[in-house]
Amino acid sequence: MNLTVYRLAKHLGAKMGSIGLFFALLPSLAMAKYEYNMEPPVSATGLSAYHLHNWMTMVCLVIFVVVFAVLGYSLYAHRKSVGHKAASFHENTLVELAWTIVPFLILIVIAVPATKALIAMKDTSEPDITIKVTGYQWKWGYDYLKGDGEGIKFISTLSTPQAQINGQEPKGENYLLEVDNPIVVPVNKKIRILTTANDVIHSWAMPAFAIKQDAVPGFIRDTAFRVEKEGTYRGQCSELCGKDHGFMPIVVEVVSDEKYAAWVEDQKKKMAAAAGDPNKVWTLDESKAYGEKVYATNCVACHQANGKGIPGAFKALDGSPIATGPKAEHISRVLNGKAGTAMAAFGKQLSDADIAAVITYERNSWSNKTGEVIQPSEIKAAR
Amino acid sequence: MAAVDHAHGHEHGHDGHGHHPTGLMRWVTTTNHKDIGSMYLWFSFAMFMVGGAMSLVIRAELFQPGLQVVSPAFYNQMITLHALIMVFGAIMPAFVGFANWMIPLQIGAPDMAFARMNNWSFWILPVAGSMLVGSMFVPGGASGTGWTLYPPLSIQMGMGMDMAIFGVHLLGMSSIMGSINIITTILNLRAPGMTLMKMPMFCWTWLITAYLLIAVMPVLAGAVTMLLTDRHFGTTFFDAAGGGDPVLFQHIFWFFGHPEVYIIALPAFGVISEVIPAFSRKPIFGYTSMVYAIASIAIISFFVWAHHMYTTGIPLTGQLYFMYATMLIAVPTGVKVFNWVATMWRGELTFETPMLFALGFLFLFTLGGFSGLVLSVTAVDIMLQDTYYVVAHFHYVMVAGAVFSAYAGAYYWLPKWTGHMYDETLGKAHFWLTLFFFNLTFFVQHFLGLAGMPRRIPDYALQFAEFNKLSSIGAFGLGLSQLLFLYVVIKCIKGGKKAEANVWGAPGLEWTVPSPAPYHTFEEPPVVK
C-alpha cells in the first residue's frame, strides 16, 4: 500500500476507539483517562507494523459496516411484522463465486505490506551492540556481549515495594513498571537482543519498540531494534512463567552517545568494586547483613520473608534439614538448584560472596541457629 | 414423566423398552439418546457455572490495581481451571448434548448407533470434571500454567498437574467415543431417502467436527503423556539438557489446539444454520457452498497451528507461511457469514429469543473473526501476542460464538424437549442482558491489549485501571444474567404454554414428532422425499 493510504490510516486508526467513548460516559468513570490504541512505536520497523495495524483495522471496519448495513436494512425491511413475504431463492452461483474471490483479493492486498513489515522486523543483521537477555523466575539478567559496554552484566528486578502491591502505601506513578537496574542503550544504534532463559519460558517484550521475543531455556533466540528517540521505555514479561510473572518488568533507557559512554564507565567501576577481595574473611554479622539483601532479591519470592515458604508449593527454610544440616549440602543446593522444581541453580547467577552471605543468612535466621559463617572461598571450592 | 409413560405403552410390543430402572438408576444406566443428551446439557451448564465462578475470582482480583483477593499463585490456578473447565467441561459437552438430542431426530434414526458407548462417554465426564476441580484441593493446588500447560513451567507443578493430565486423558476418551458414535450414526442410520446432501446443516457440522476430534484428541493425549513422563519417568522430550525442546510441546499442543477452535466453532455454525432459516422462513442460502466452506475450514485448521507461536522464534519463512495460511481461513468463514446474511435477505423475519441470539452471534462472531484476521498478520501479532487483545479476540469467538449459539439452540429446541414454551419476555431479557454485559466485559479488553497489558497477570500498572474496572463490572453482570437462563429453563420444564409439534413452522424431521419428543422416536424410519 502506498504512503498516502498509510497516512490516512494513521489519522483514522486513532479514531477507532471512539466506539469505546460510549463507556466513558458512565458517570463515575467519566473523568478517567482512556487509551484506545497502541502508542506509536519509536523505531522505524515498529512504526510500519503500527501503521499496518491501523490500516487493517480500518479495512476490517469498512467491510464490517458494509456487511452489517446490508443486514441492518434486511432486518428492518424484511420483517414479518411489516407484512414482508419470504422469497424462495436459495442459491446463486455467480454471487457465491464473487464473495469467495473478492475477499481473497482483499487478503492479497493485505498480505503485501504484511510481508514487507515482517521482513524488516526480522532483520537482526549487523548490530552495533549485542546484549544477551536471560529470563529468571522472576527477574531479568543482562549481559553486554559485544560492542560498547562489552562485559557489563547485571540483574534487573522489580523495585516497586511490596507495601504498594498490598495496598499499605499509595501506588507510585510507575507502579509495577520500575526496576532497580534498567538496561541502558545508545540512541540510533542497532541493538541486537539474544534471549534465553534459566528455568522456564519467559518473553522479553517492549511495546514501544514493537518487540516481543520468547526466552526459551536451553536455546538462543534473537530480535533487534534501533530506537530513534531518547527516553525511558517500559515493558513486561509476556509469557506466563509462574507465580510472579506479573512482577518482572523491563525498563530500557535510551540515551545519547555521551551519556551512554558515561554509564559504561560507571558500570565498569561498580563491577570492579563489587568483585572485592576474594580472600576477605567475613564475620557473622557482616555476612548475615549482606545475605539478608541477597535473600530479599533472590529468595524471598518463594521462601518468603519468614522462611516458611508456601506449603505445598515452596519448601520452608526455617528449620529445614538442609538449612540446619551439613553445610556442604546446603551450598550444593544453592549452587546447583533442584531439578524438576522452581529451585534454580544460583551458581550461574550470583557471585561467591553473594552465595556465601545468603547461606550464612539462611543458616542463622528465624529458628535456625547454626552459628556458622560461610566464606566466599568455600563457595569457590565447591563450584 | 410423560416420556416414561409413553414408553410403558410399548411394554409388550418390544423387548426391553418398558424395563428401564427409575429414579437415579434410570440416569446411570440409560442408553436413551434423549436422556443422555439432557445429562450432557445439565453437566455442561453446571460446569459453565463453576468455570464462570472462577472467572469472577479473576475479575474480582483485577477490579483494581494491587493484590486484594487472591495470591498470585492461586490466581494462576484460576486462569488455568477456568479455561480447561470452560473449553472441555462446558462448551464441548453442550454441543455433544445437542448432537445426542437432535442428530437422531434430524436424520430419522431411533437412537445413536452405539447406545451403551453413549452412556459410557457421558459418565466419564463427571469423573474428569471432578479431577479438574478436585486438583484445587491437593497439596500445591491446581496447575498454575494456563490451559496451554507449557513446559518447563508444567514440569515444576505439583500433583494438581498430574490430575489435570489424567483429566484431559479422560475427556479425550469421552470425546473420541462420542465422535465415533456420531459418525457411525450419521453415516448408517439416516432415514431412507435422506442423502448426505439433504441432511440438516447441524448434522453436517457435527459429522466434520467428529472427524476433527478423532484426529486431534490423540495428539493432545500424546502431548500430555509426554509431559507426564518428563515429570516422573526421567524422559526429556521438552528439556534441552537431555536433547529435547520446550517449543516441541507448543507445536504438538497447537496442532491439537487450532482444530480445537473449530471443534467448538463448527457445531455452533450448525445451530446458527438451523435457527436463521427457521426465523427467516426461507431455506438456507447456498447449502452446498456452506458444506464446502465447513469442510475447507476444517482442513485448513490443520495447517495453521504455529500462528499461536509467532513469538517463539520460528524462522521468517515459517512465519510467512503460517501468516498466509491463516489469512486464508477468512475466505470460507466469510462465505458462511455472507450466506447467513443472504438467507435473511428478503425473508419473513421475526425476532424470537433464538433468532436474537443467532443475530448476536453473527454480529459478535464477525467482530471476533476480524480481530483474528488482524492477529494473523505476524508483524502486528508480535505486538499483540499475550496481551488482552488476544483475550478479547478469543472470548468474542468462544463466548459470542459458541455460547451465544448454544443459547440460540437451547431456546430453539426447548419446546421440543419439554413440551412447553419458554417465557419469551424473560428469554429476551436474558439475551439483552447477556449482549450488553458481554460487550462491557470484553470489548474494553481490546483497548487494554492495544495499550500493552499482558494477559495472565494478577496485578497491573495504573494506566490499565479504568478499563479493568469496567470489564470487572461487566463480568459480574454477565455472570448474574446467566442465572436468569437457569430460571427460564426450570420454569419451562415445570409448565408453560403447551408447545405444538412444529412450534416454529420450520422444516426438518425433528418437528414431525410431538412435543415433548416421546421417549422413543422413529422406531419405524420416516421416508424423506
Could A79 and B454 be called an inter-chain contact, meaning their C-beta atoms sit closer than 8 Å? Answer: no
Cα of first residue to Cα of last residue in chain B, in angstroms, is: 34
Same domain? A243 vs A192: yes
User: DSSP state, A225?
Assistant: E
Residue B376 distance to chain A (closest CA, Å) = 10
Does A5 score more than 50 pLDDT?
A: no
Same domain? A205 vs A302: no
- Let me know if residue A374 belongs to a domain: yes
**pLDDT given for residue B18 in this prediction:** 54
- Can you give the CATH number for the domain in which A189 is found? 2.60.40.420
**pLDDT given for residue A12 in this prediction:** 47
Chain A residues within an 8 Å CB radius of B344:
71, 74-75, 78
- Let me know if residue A308 belongs to a domain: yes
Could B65 and A236 be called an inter-chain contact, meaning their C-beta atoms sit closer than 8 Å? Answer: no
Same domain? A161 vs A203: yes
Whether B273 is catalytic? yes
Is B392:B443 a contact under the CB 8 Å cutoff?
yes
The answer to whether B349 faces chain A, any CB pair under 8 Å, is: yes
Whether B520 is catalytic? no
**pLDDT given for residue B434 in this prediction:** 97
Residue B167 distance to chain A (closest CA, Å) = 21
Q: Which of A250, A273, A296 is the last residue of a domain?
A: A273
Same domain? A240 vs A155: yes
Could A176 and B459 be called an inter-chain contact, meaning their C-beta atoms sit closer than 8 Å? Answer: yes
The answer to whether B312 faces chain A, any CB pair under 8 Å, is: yes
Q: Which set of grid coordinates corresponds to residue B393?
A: 479476540
pLDDT confidence band for A60 (50 / 70 / 90):
very high
Nearest CA in chain A to B340: A71
- Let me know if residue A54 belongs to a domain: yes
pLDDT confidence band for A279 (50 / 70 / 90):
confident
Same domain? A230 vs A319: no
Chain B residues within an 8 Å CB radius of A100:
289, 331, 334-335
Same domain? A292 vs A372: yes
Mark B478-508 as b/e (b = at least 16 C-beta within 10 Å): bbebbebbeebbeebeeebeebeebbbeeeb
Residues in CB range of B512: below 8 A, 6 or more apart: B501, B502, B526
**pLDDT given for residue A32 in this prediction:** 52
Mark B93-113 as b/e (b = at least 16 C-beta within 10 Å): bbbbbbbbbbbbbbbbbebbb
Mark B242-269 as b/e (b = at least 16 C-beta within 10 Å): eebbbbebbbbbbbbbbbbbbbbbbbbb
- From the list B20, B428, B455, B456, the catalytic residue is B455
Could A29 and B363 be called an inter-chain contact, meaning their C-beta atoms sit closer than 8 Å? Answer: no
Element (H, E) at B256: helix B246-280
Does A15 score more than 50 pLDDT?
A: no
Quick: pLDDT tens for B408-447.
Answer: 999 999 999 999 999 999 999 999 999 999 999 999 999 9
Quick: pLDDT tens for B294-321.
Answer: 999 999 999 999 999 999 999 999 999 9
Q: Which set of grid coordinates corresponds to residue B381?
A: 501479532
Q: In chain B, pLDDT over 90 holds for what percent of residues?
A: 94
Q: Pick from A26, A38, A61: which is nearest to B383 by CB? A: A38
Is A313:B140 a contact under the CB 8 Å cutoff?
yes
Element (H, E) at B518: none
Whether B174 is catalytic? yes
Whether B446 is catalytic? no
Does B191 score more than 60 pLDDT?
A: yes
**pLDDT given for residue A378 in this prediction:** 85
- Let me know if residue A85 belongs to a domain: no
Residue B65 distance to chain A (closest CA, Å) = 8
- Let me know if residue A244 belongs to a domain: yes
- From the list B190, B231, B307, B430, the catalytic residue is B307
Could A217 and B152 be called an inter-chain contact, meaning their C-beta atoms sit closer than 8 Å? Answer: yes
pLDDT confidence band for A10 (50 / 70 / 90):
very low
Same domain? A140 vs A115: no
Task: State mean pLDDT over B242-263.
Answer: 96
Same domain? A252 vs A143: yes
Q: Helix crossing, B330-344 with B353-376: angle to 10°?
A: 150
Residue A165 distance to chain B (closest CA, Å) = 5
Dist CA B55 CA A281 (whole Å) = 55
Interfacial A residues in 1-40 facing B (CB < 8 Å): 17, 19-20, 23, 26, 29, 32-39
Chain A residues within an 8 Å CB radius of B377:
52-53, 56, 110, 114, 117-118
Dist CA B423 CA A348 (whole Å) = 67
Is A364:A284 a contact under the CB 8 Å cutoff?
yes
Q: Which of A273, A302, A330 is the last residue of a domain?
A: A273
Task: State mean pLDDT over B122-141.
Answer: 94
The answer to whether B159 faces chain A, any CB pair under 8 Å, is: no
- Can you give the CATH number for the domain in which A337 is found? 1.10.760.10
Q: Is B407 or A17 the better-scoring residue by pLDDT?
A: B407
Could B313 and A216 be called an inter-chain contact, meaning their C-beta atoms sit closer than 8 Å? Answer: yes
Is B245:A219 a contact under the CB 8 Å cutoff?
yes
Could B144 and A36 be called an inter-chain contact, meaning their C-beta atoms sit closer than 8 Å? Answer: no
Q: Strand, helix or coil at A132?
A: strand
Does A30 score more than 60 pLDDT?
A: no
**pLDDT given for residue A319 in this prediction:** 86
Tell me the count of A-B CB pairs closer than 8 A: 310
Q: Strand, helix or coil at B247?
A: helix
Interfacial B residues in 506-525 facing A (CB < 8 Å): none
**pLDDT given for residue B353 in this prediction:** 97
Could A78 and B67 be called an inter-chain contact, meaning their C-beta atoms sit closer than 8 Å? Answer: no
Dist CA B393 CA B374 (whole Å) = 10
Whether B130 is catalytic? no
Place of cell 463515575: A28
What is the tally of structural domains in chain A? Answer: 4
Same domain? A221 vs A154: yes
Q: Which of A241, A273, A305 is the last residue of a domain?
A: A273
Q: Pick from A79, A121, A310: which is nearest to B73 by CB? A: A310
Dist CA A209 CA A225 (whole Å) = 7
Dist CA B10 CA A380 (whole Å) = 87
Q: Which set of grid coordinates corresponds to residue A115?
A: 510481508
Q: Is A358 or B215 the better-scoring residue by pLDDT?
A: B215
Same domain? A247 vs A268: yes
Does A28 score more than 80 pLDDT?
A: no
Dist CA A202 CA A198 (whole Å) = 9
Could A49 and B285 be called an inter-chain contact, meaning their C-beta atoms sit closer than 8 Å? Answer: no
* Cα–chain center distance at A40: 18
Task: State mean pLDDT over A182-208.
Answer: 96
- Let me know if residue A203 belongs to a domain: yes
Residue type, A175: Y
Chain A residues within an 8 Å CB radius of B288:
91
User: DSSP state, B350?
Assistant: -
Dist CA A225 CA B189 (whole Å) = 62
Q: Which set of grid coordinates corresponds to residue A310?
A: 508456601
Q: Pick from B280, B450, B458: which is nearest to A37 by CB? A: B450
Task: State mean pLDDT over B504-512.
Answer: 93
pLDDT confidence band for B16 (50 / 70 / 90):
very low
The answer to whether A297 faces chain B, any CB pair under 8 Å, is: no
Nearest CA in chain A to B71: A243
Same domain? A330 vs A269: no
Quick: pLDDT tens for B472-494.
Answer: 999 999 999 999 999 999 999 99
The answer to whether A163 faces chain B, any CB pair under 8 Å, is: no
pTM exceeding the 0.90 threshold for the entire prediction: no
CB-based burial label for B240 (10 Å; 0-12, 13-18, 19+): middle
> How many other CB atoms are there within 10 angstroms of residue B144's CB atom?
29
Residue A185 structural domain = 129-167+174-273
Could A241 and B153 be called an inter-chain contact, meaning their C-beta atoms sit closer than 8 Å? Answer: yes
- Let me know if residue A37 belongs to a domain: no
Residues in CB range of A296: below 8 A, 6 or more apart: A305
Chain B residues within an 8 Å CB radius of A173:
462
Quick: pLDDT tens for B275-298.
Answer: 999 999 999 999 999 999 999 999
Could A52 and B334 be called an inter-chain contact, meaning their C-beta atoms sit closer than 8 Å? Answer: no
Same domain? A178 vs A260: yes
The answer to whether A70 faces chain B, any CB pair under 8 Å, is: yes
Chain A residues within an 8 Å CB radius of B451:
35, 38-39
- From the list B101, B262, B396, B417, the catalytic residue is B262
Does A249 score more than 80 pLDDT?
A: yes
Task: State mean pLDDT over B66-91.
Answer: 95
Mean pLDDT of chain A: 87
Q: Strand, helix or coil at B302?
A: helix
Task: State mean pLDDT over A314-321.
Answer: 86
The three-point CA angle B243-B246-B247 to 5° equals: 115
Is A205:A250 a contact under the CB 8 Å cutoff?
yes
Does A151 score more than 80 pLDDT?
A: yes
Mean pLDDT of chain B: 93
- Let me know if residue A223 belongs to a domain: yes
Task: State mean pLDDT over A219-231.
Answer: 95
**pLDDT given for residue A33 in this prediction:** 59
Whether B190 is catalytic? no
**pLDDT given for residue A119 in this prediction:** 94
Dist CA B205 CA B444 (whole Å) = 32
pLDDT confidence band for A383 (50 / 70 / 90):
confident
**pLDDT given for residue B159 in this prediction:** 93
